[in-house]
Amino acid sequence: MTFVPVMWSVWGVLLLVLAVLSLYKSSLARDEEGQIFLDDAFAHERAAQEAIVARVQKVEPAVRLALWLVGAATLFVIVYYIWDIIAQFQ
């Protein structure tokens, strides 16, 4: 197998992982409220919001890592094609 299809396959898989993680994070955060002022009578609401925030924060490092990996793979693809263009003119 040649290098270019493998390169594009890795890039596509990384992009798919990023998309899945982002969709999962957004589905977790769907019920999150931006700002709530609750008194002690609504402690269960506060606990539910804190649980949502905790789950979103647990997924956030994986999303950030996937974003960096996709960025690095994209940069690699761009550099590869620039190098290929330069090599063709020599």
**Residues 20-56: pLDDT tens digits?**
999 999 888 887 666 666 666 677 777 778 888 888 8
Q: How confident is the model at residue 58 (pLDDT cuts 50, 70, 90)?
A: very high
Q: Helices marked H in the chain — which ranges?
A: 3-28, 43-88
Six-digit token string for 82: 């620039």
pLDDT for the residue numbered 35: 62
* pTM, two decimal places: 0.80
d(CA 72, CA 80): 12
Percent of the chain with pLDDT over 90: 59
pLDDT for the residue numbered 23: 94
Evaluated on CA atoms 22, 23, 27, 30, the torsion sign reads: positive
